[in-house]
Structure 1
Amino acid sequence: MQVNMHEAKSQLSKLGEKAWEGETVVIAKAGKPYLDLVPHRENITPRKPGRLKGQIMFAENFDKTPLDVIAGFEGKL
């Protein structure tokens, strides 16, 4: 469902119910999609920083960029 900004202002409660029920609600501005109306969902599992520690490995030369790649980004090739 796509509605314009003016319609969304006057029907926000109705549109909120539709979004909560799972319907995709897009709010348009000047006829182009501008916002998606989505229901708020509580984060059930709290984020745990570092939970993948020791599971992600980087190559020894991860931070060493080859000179030809650098030259390509700088437009020297």
Structure 2
Amino acid sequence: MRQVQIAHAKAHLSALLELVEAGEEIVIARRGKAVARLVPEQRVLRSAADVLREVWAQGGLDIDSPAELPLDAHQIDLD
């Protein structure tokens, strides 16, 4: 965990965000006292199998009767 002063954080925000994206935690301090913390956003990686498992649990896919798309409910006049 790295601690930086507010002035440094303001001047080097892009570089600090790169460190955070790489997994590092940054503490922003004012006069040596922590006031904020930059932490990486938690990412949930799902495999195709996970997604299909969820679809299957909800009744599967019906290829013969495709779902109605949102635009199918509205007639679009292109003339």
TM value normalised by structure 1: 0.50
TM value normalised by structure 2: 0.49
- Judging by fraction of residues, say which structure has more helix: 2
